[in-house]
Structure 1
């Protein structure tokens, strides 16, 4: 596999701009090679006949002999760093960086030959000459370590280096300095050819700077987790003491009366058995459980790694109520679960960072090897030794140590010392970040095709039957039944089309696993997902065909089948057995629960308002829920007893999704501490949607094609269309940007290969937002058909909207280099409270949140406690940890005596 493809498949999409630009450097090598060969040919023609050109061969021998040959023989090498002795090469084209996305040190972003010439102090020749004359390192990244190592030239193969493959290193010559590589470059390459090394230096500078920042943030995250785990250990220790007191109480009835009501029977039994086991196995002088020993051992191992000084918890003015939870078992389990998830997420981020280090380090060796092979020189070892080895990409062991510490903490704190299970839980499945999967789900694809084929045939036959006059004569309520089926068909088709969204996002490597917070170990492939809505569509189409096929020949009423289908769908999602993708069903049910609470019980995340927007395109189905219940209540009587304009329940249910999004916007506004007022503007958008629904219902209820109700509906419908469409373009899609490559679009496009589709989407989105115009034509007889067509248009518009909306979210994560989730922590941190105090001084608000690139978000509510109380709590935690360590040493000493 070519390294360019290997890098493409294994790079994290959100960090793609931070990796080495391997393809751009390959393009630059081709241009340097053309210039280099042309210059060699020109110099060969200018050489005297009695002296054949030996520059190229001697240069190659020079590189093979090493940098020390520089001091032994300087006479044979022409001085390419001096313009006086350089021959006139006007006919040789310059080496440009156009189309490579590379830049030179100190040059503008848009590099070209003229740009570089305009900055005389930053030209390649003067840069390398200045380094050589001043003796300064050629790279700001070099640290001049005497213990640096260099990649052995014997370890060069065509396959990319993997994180599990050991790399052979040999000792570096301590006499060779970084100025030697600058002198080599300035003597053997002219100013145009030196652009490759300057571009490579700039790449190394950019990569190492990014790596240092991420490494520092990773250390801060582990430090925060350590302080959180110390508080969790104290919380657990006091909770265990409480359970022991309950067990030692007199009488079983007193035990159960003392336990919290929220404690389950299994938890009561477990607490009793654990306390009894502790009382039997430990003497009064040795009341330290094995869990404390494991945790103390883990902390000892973390300190033994010598990663750096971990932060200590400092006294604060405000103590958190999380530090005084009261040791309720449910709250303790919630705190433990939060920290467990945070440790897993921290380990995931560390693995990504470690992979970033390995990929870029390998990229430098590969591109230097490519340079050597193309120009027939051997420059890999001296450059890698001088420029890459002294950097943290090679020298730093912080990230591997952080990974080891995180594994140790997770094993001892959350998996009872079971290293094998801890490794399985922490191991990231293949393809989560690369967006590619090795599995091929042929059986799922076959079943999906079978379901859709049968469903299509059943729908066509059902439509033929419903249009037959004899069927309509036997079923006078066929219109009402058809409307019920239409309301069930819209969400089923929408769910099926969402599978195409998944395929498109996967094609352009959008990290849906991270955005939607799916479980990476159980995430569904699009082929597996298609099986779910296609199966429900199969059942719906068969029931539709049965309802209108010979209705007089069956004893089951035709209107029974839509209700049967609805019951099957509900039971399938609520099925407690581990079949039919249980983890995906749990995620969907939990997410829908969060959506229908409207942000009242939970903070609003991306998946919450994304699903809320999806429900906004199902207003037709929500409104017909009342119609379905009314028809079944009246047994589908003729004439119809349930006109859609006869009850206010119809607009209430139809406007429910918009109202939920309205509440979510206010929750986000309050969570931002009333600073991000754009959420209020978004709330106004959904308020206009709610008013539009009610104005339309009021116009339909009065039945007047003209007059004030009609005018009000037209006014609010127009306002809603303009408002929502503008928000789609500017906020949800982030289009209409100035100075974009394609007018009215944006600079970065995930679907750049089909960029005209963005213009098509903008036009169709506008017409889709104006689908209410369809109600202005036709009479009352075709109203149900027009309502279904409007719902179908809105569903297709939303399906199209999904592609660009998630693309914009992904690009936002990439711009901020965000690859891990913002997770809530059970206990407050010093940094979060310092930020809280700063913001409180600014605007007097008492609700703060922490923010950083790899945020682990603390709780935002603080109780008014004294500073002394918090200090006592912290001292107790440290004293308890020290007692645990002393007990562990005492136990070891006893074992030694025994």
Structure 2
């Protein structure tokens, strides 16, 4: 792998603009090389003509001009001070008067800009991490005091004070000692390396119980019950409850804070290493092209800069690791390091093998099913038509799920290709996210099982010899549903358990909306469910067939039940209610009117779905007009919100006309094509209202086809929605999860209020 590809892959996507512009510098070096080649050829031809005219002897010599042997004659790098503490580097190129020297001068000017940019960004990040380390030290101190209070709440205060002070005095006498759990090395690091924080010297010498007097616990993960309580009570008046359950929650939350902070420090260390390597590589290329020995002089400046000389990140890494091991893994170094360092995903050849195997099986089974239907002419006889009208809707559920999984596999592929950091945006635990190969494996496996069950059902139903096994035939679709549910909710560590549990957690939060705070993964899943409203209605059909006894009569009498009709309407409304409830929760928390407008969009969709369902049941020109009007209004609102708000396109004053300033896909035509497709596929949603005298089988086929188009539209929406979220995230440099601290101090809170 070349350094260019490795440098690109090692970048933190959210910091990409703040890495050294290796490609830009290479382009300037190409200009330098081109000018050098032109100058050399012209000089060689001129000297050859003179020598030949004077002596008739051909010139033989070196192909390289020997100049610039002395480094000081090539460049002179000056260090300037700005704002008292900020260092800025400026290089004076000494050979600008030579032919081609202007390109080299531009190279060093660009090189200085990149060094100053990288240096400033690195220093800002280190300063922020030092401040966060100070806050973490106070969190650990409060945790230690909380542990003491939980383990021995009746112990005398004076006795604990003297004991804790004796331990602290012993720890302060040891050089770089980690000591007991009462002394936090992160705070020690802050005292040793930051003179401005000497005021905190006496902070750790206080009694642990005295610390808890100014501390309150922040509940980061709210349950539905706590949310309801917070509406009627003031959460600021809650007192500390010193019990083991509360301690366990605090330890878990603070553990996540340490893990995320440690990962950030690791990425910052990699940032420094990769940029230093990039400067070294580009200077070697410069020497190779120009034959000037300027690399050593410039790299000496780079090594002496803050980027190359600061060792504070390594120091913080050691202290954070030591603190974490002592306080969260019972001094077990192996266990502590395993928790701190994220797991790297290994590419397994078995995934590729089984994906190909299931794909081949799916194609073969699908071909066998089509041949079976055509050979028996099921579409042309009454028995076959009746069978397809009643049984096909049951299996269409699995077709919707398969298509949606296939679109998600394509999404993950293109997100990874264009460096959209979807694992971070969704909040996956590092190493547990599924890539496109794994999602495609699940998709093909699910499709094989679904088509196989449909073929078995078809064989048992249409074969004269097996029609006596009517009970077994009718239970095949139900068995498939049970199998899928068992695999989804299986508690054992099989079939990507962490991803399944993450999906279940998000689904539960969608169902309980608006009682939970809304994350991106929650409303993203709820948006997926809005495109699966036909799948929800398929579940209602299962209830009718297997709950109301319709399977035994094999007649489509579900619409005659008022209970079924009520569930049928609710099934079309439920996924849109999830998003409406989430918008209500976001409006309550953020006080942003955009959430109210977004919620009105889903409210209009609910109204349109109810009117359309009434039109399907009652018919009539009045219901048809109402259905058309409500559908058109909903389509207009949703289309505008998709393109302008969710995708961030059609910006008037954008550098890219009618798009947005930042794009991850280099081909702009892709965005215009996506906008057109979104409008067209949205209009297909209204096509169901325009039904005329459709035959029942035709209605089932058209409904299924339009539902599949909606799933495809959602898959296209997914890519650009997350791309827009990623670019907004990049602008704020949010490359890591912001895990709230479990403790907050009253003095800190007052400072923030002031």
Q: TM-score range by the shorter chain?
A: 0.7 to 0.9
1:109-141 superposed Cα distances (whole Å, 9 cap, x missing partner): xxxxxxxxxxxxxxxxxxx9xxx8xx9636869
For 1:518, the equivalent position in structure 2 comes to 428
Whole-Å separation in 1 of the counterparts to 2:700 and 2:748: 55
1:259-658 → structure 2 map (5 Å cutoff): 294-296=180-182, 298-299=184-185, 302-303=188-189, 306-308=192-194, 320-322=216-218, 324-386=239-301, 388-430=302-344, 441-457=351-367, 459-461=369-371, 463-464=373-374, 468=378, 472-473=382-383, 476=386, 478-551=388-461, 552-600=467-515, 602-632=516-546, 633-636=548-551, 637=553, 639-643=555-559, 647-658=565-576
Q: Give the drift of 1:461.
A: 4.8
Whole-Å separation in 2 of the counterparts to 1:630 and 1:438: 43
- SS of alignment partner, residue 802 of structure 1: helix
For 2:70, the equivalent position in structure 1 comes to 62
Bigger shift: residues 184-193 or 206-215: 184-193
How many pairs align?
A: 686
Q: Tell me if structure 1 keeps the 8 A contact 2:404–2:711.
A: yes
Change (3 A) 1:662 1:696: same
1:742-757 → structure 2 map (5 Å cutoff): 743-753=657-667, 755-757=668-670
User: Which structure 1 segments of 5+ residues have no match?
Assistant: 71-76, 78-127, 146-176, 246-281, 839-898
Q: Are 1:696 and 2:612 an aligned pair?
A: yes
Whole-Å separation in 2 of the counterparts to 1:571 and 1:418: 37
Q: Are 1:819 and 2:735 an aligned pair?
A: yes
Whole-Å separation in 1 of the counterparts to 2:732 and 2:262: 20
1:451-478 superposed Cα distances (whole Å, 9 cap, x missing partner): 4334423542564488527985389565
Q: Tell me if structure 2 keeps the 8 A contact 1:522–1:584.
A: yes
- SS of alignment partner, residue 398 of structure 2: helix
Q: Tell me if structure 1 keeps the 8 A contact 2:608–2:630.
A: yes
Change (3 A) 1:621 1:610: same
User: Which structure 2 segments of 5+ residues have no match?
Assistant: 52-58, 157-162, 172-177, 204-209, 219-237, 462-466
Whole-Å separation in 2 of the counterparts to 1:541 and 1:243: 66
For 2:79, the equivalent position in structure 1 comes to 137
Q: Are 1:765 and 2:651 an aligned pair?
A: no
Q: Give the drift of 1:61.
A: 2.0
- SS of alignment partner, residue 320 of structure 1: strand
Structure having the larger proportion of residues in helix = 2
Q: Give the drift of 1:389.
A: 2.6
For 1:732, the equivalent position in structure 2 comes to 646
Q: Give the drift of 1:819.
A: 0.7
For 2:30, the equivalent position in structure 1 comes to 30
Change (3 A) 1:466 1:48: closer
- SS of alignment partner, residue 432 of structure 2: coil
Instruction: Choose the corresponding residue for 2:587, options 655, 664, 669.
Output: 669
For 1:230, the equivalent position in structure 2 comes to 141
- SS of alignment partner, residue 820 of structure 1: coil
- SS of alignment partner, residue 137 of structure 1: strand
Q: Give the drift of 1:304.
A: 8.3
1:37-63 superposed Cα distances (whole Å, 9 cap, x missing partner): 55577789699999x999x85633222
Q: Are 1:720 and 2:634 an aligned pair?
A: yes
For 1:221, the equivalent position in structure 2 comes to 132
Whole-Å separation in 2 of the counterparts to 1:43 and 1:450: 65
Q: What is the alpha-carbon root mean square deviation over aligned residues?
A: 3.9
Q: Tell me if structure 2 keeps the 8 A contact 1:316–1:830.
A: no
Q: Give the drift of 1:329.
A: 2.2
Q: Tell me if structure 1 keeps the 8 A contact 2:573–2:609.
A: yes
- SS of alignment partner, residue 576 of structure 1: coil
Change (3 A) 1:476 1:712: closer
Change (3 A) 1:731 1:455: farther
Q: Give the drift of 1:559.
A: 2.6
TM-score by length of 1: 0.69
Change (3 A) 1:599 1:803: same
Whole-Å separation in 1 of the counterparts to 2:186 and 2:259: 20
Change (3 A) 1:183 1:714: closer
Change (3 A) 1:766 1:425: same
1:776-834 superposed Cα distances (whole Å, 9 cap, x missing partner): 03325343333222211111111121122222222222222221012122112579735
Q: Give the drift of 1:224.
A: 1.8
Instruction: Choose the corresponding residue for 1:205, options 75, 98, 116.
Output: 116
Whole-Å separation in 2 of the counterparts to 1:216 and 1:187: 42
Q: Give the drift of 1:348.
A: 0.8
Q: Tell me if structure 1 keeps the 8 A contact 2:628–2:689.
A: no
Whole-Å separation in 2 of the counterparts to 1:12 and 1:746: 22
Whole-Å separation in 2 of the counterparts to 1:831 and 1:765: 52
Change (3 A) 1:459 1:294: farther
Whole-Å separation in 2 of the counterparts to 1:193 and 1:183: 8
For 2:229, the equivalent position in structure 1 comes to none
1:636-683 superposed Cα distances (whole Å, 9 cap, x missing partner): 3354221299523212221111111011112112222x1x22111111
1:190-244 superposed Cα distances (whole Å, 9 cap, x missing partner): 4453111111111111111111111111112222222112111111111112599
Q: Tell me if structure 2 keeps the 8 A contact 1:139–1:205.
A: no
For 1:790, the equivalent position in structure 2 comes to 706
Whole-Å separation in 1 of the counterparts to 2:614 and 2:310: 69
Change (3 A) 1:300 1:204: closer
Q: Give the drift of 1:553.
A: 4.7
Change (3 A) 1:58 1:481: closer
Q: Tell me if structure 1 keeps the 8 A contact 2:96–2:105.
A: yes
- SS of alignment partner, residue 811 of structure 1: helix
Q: Give the drift of 1:543.
A: 1.5
Q: Give the drift of 1:563.
A: 0.9
Whole-Å separation in 1 of the counterparts to 2:428 and 2:375: 43
Whole-Å separation in 2 of the counterparts to 1:791 and 1:575: 29
Whole-Å separation in 2 of the counterparts to 1:391 and 1:829: 37
1:678-736 superposed Cα distances (whole Å, 9 cap, x missing partner): 111111111111111111122233321x12x3222211111110111111111111111
Change (3 A) 1:806 1:349: same
Whole-Å separation in 1 of the counterparts to 2:329 and 2:300: 43
Q: Give the drift of 1:573.
A: 1.5
For 2:8, the equivalent position in structure 1 comes to 8
1:801-820 → structure 2 map (5 Å cutoff): 801-820=717-736
Q: Give the drift of 1:757.
A: 2.9
1:859-898 superposed Cα distances (whole Å, 9 cap, x missing partner): xxxxxxxxxxxxxxxxxxxxxxxxxxxxxxxxxxxxxxxx
For 2:20, the equivalent position in structure 1 comes to 20
